Each structure stands twice: as structure tokens, then as C-alpha cells.
A and B are shown apart, each in its own frame.
Chain A
């Protein structure tokens, strides 16, 4: 059974800092890995998706990497802003089509 762990559970940084969120998974037989953000009481917004054959994806200030052999993915946020404050979730999709979600990292960016 796939297990997905996100560290840290919560993170508070001053505006402008670069930061890294971590996601680890136990079964490397994945189809893809997707990062989401969730604002309080809201649904999930897709940020980046990395296919199993890829090593990284970039969108604006966000960069996500994938190392299947070590069971890890990182989400790098450059020059953080207060609007980046949210919970960030990673989801690992298995070859069978189902996704397993981590518990998320709650990020607070202070002005």
C-alpha cells in the first residue's frame, strides 16, 4: 500500500524567502505525481504534474522535482508572497489509476 508523507506539516516564512516543500512515497511504481494548493474551505487547484518519466516541471515561481528511485518529490517556491499562503498537497498516482494524497504542508508567508 502506497504511503505519502509530507514534511514539514506547517511552515512559516517571511515574504521574499525561497522555500522547499517535501513529499516522500513508499512505492516507486508511480504513474505521475501532482502538486496542489488548497485554500481554507476550498477545493484543490492543480499546480504542477510530473510524469513518471520526467524529473522536473516548472511554472512561474514554482519548480517541482521527482526522484522515483529515492521516493521523493520537492516543490520549490521562489520569492514567496503572502498570496502563496495555503496548504500544499502532493498526490501520487499509481499505475492502477488511483491517487494517494499526503497530509499536506500548511504554508504561511508573513508580509
Chain B
């Protein structure tokens, strides 16, 4: 298993502002991902966070809206920029280790409400 700390756990933000979500893991990981879960829906992959280089974004997600950093093998941030009510979702950090059968582990998530 793994200890994955995600902060903040929840926030209420005003339209047009930005929020940065942090994901900290207690050991070096191979892969880090960011997902979005809109109300009543399943998970959608936003991007793969790459250590020391630009993240790999999925179709429909762009760097200007969701900038991601991964400065080392244990930490990543996701910023939700210029927020609108449609960004209200749970944002989840996920990690994998290649030497642990690529089992995916998730943080507790950040519940974001945009007014």
C-alpha cells in the first residue's frame, strides 16, 4: 500500500479564481496521474504527470486550464485555472509503481465547488 496525501480535501472557490491541489506520496513512484470525477459520474483521466517535463494531457484537457507540475518522484500539483461552476468536481491523484504490478492507488480526493 501507500500513503498518498492530497490537499486540500475540499474547497469552495469563486468564479475566475485558481486553485492548486497538492499530491504527496511517502515513497518514490513510477507514475502519477490526475483524474476528475464530475458529480454522479465516473473518473476521467486529465493527464499523466511526468517528472521533470511537461505533463501528457488527454483529449479535452489543456495545459492552460490544468497546469501540472511534478518536480520530483514523490510530489505533484494540479492547478484548476480561471474556474467556472462547470469545474465543480472531485479531483483525484493516483500513483503506480512498476515493481508493484502497476496497482493503482488513489489519494482521498479534493472536492471542489465553484460558485
A residues near B (Cβ < 8 Å) are: 31-32, 34, 36, 41-46, 49, 51, 89, 91, 93, 97-99, 101-104
Contact = CB atoms under 8 A, between A and B. Distances in A.
A101 B43 contact: yes
B42 A44 contact: no
A99 B44 CA distance: 9
A51 B103 CA distance: 10
B104 interface: yes
Contacts of A43: 6, 92, 106-109
Given A43-B107, A44-B106, A101-B42, 18 more contacts: A32-B102, A36-B106, A41-B109, A42-B108, A43-B106, A43-B108, A44-B43, A44-B92, A49-B101, A49-B103, A89-B42, A89-B43, A91-B43, A97-B48, A99-B45, A101-B43, A103-B42, A104-B42
Contacts of A99: 45, 104
B105 interface: yes
Interface residues of B, number: 22
Contacts of B101: 32, 49, 51
B92 A91 contact: no
What is the predominant secondary structure among interface residues of chain A facing chain B?
A: strand
Contacts of B6: 43
A93 to B, nearest CB: 7
Contact of A91 (B104, B107, B108): B104
Contacts of B41: 103
B29 interface: no
Contacts of A45: 106
Interface in B65-107: 90, 92, 94, 101-107
B104 A34 contact: yes
A90 B44 CA distance: 13
Most buried by B among A31, A44, A97: A44
Contacts of A36: 106
A98 B103 contact: no
Contact of A93 (B43, B92, B102): B102
Contacts of A41: 90, 109, 111
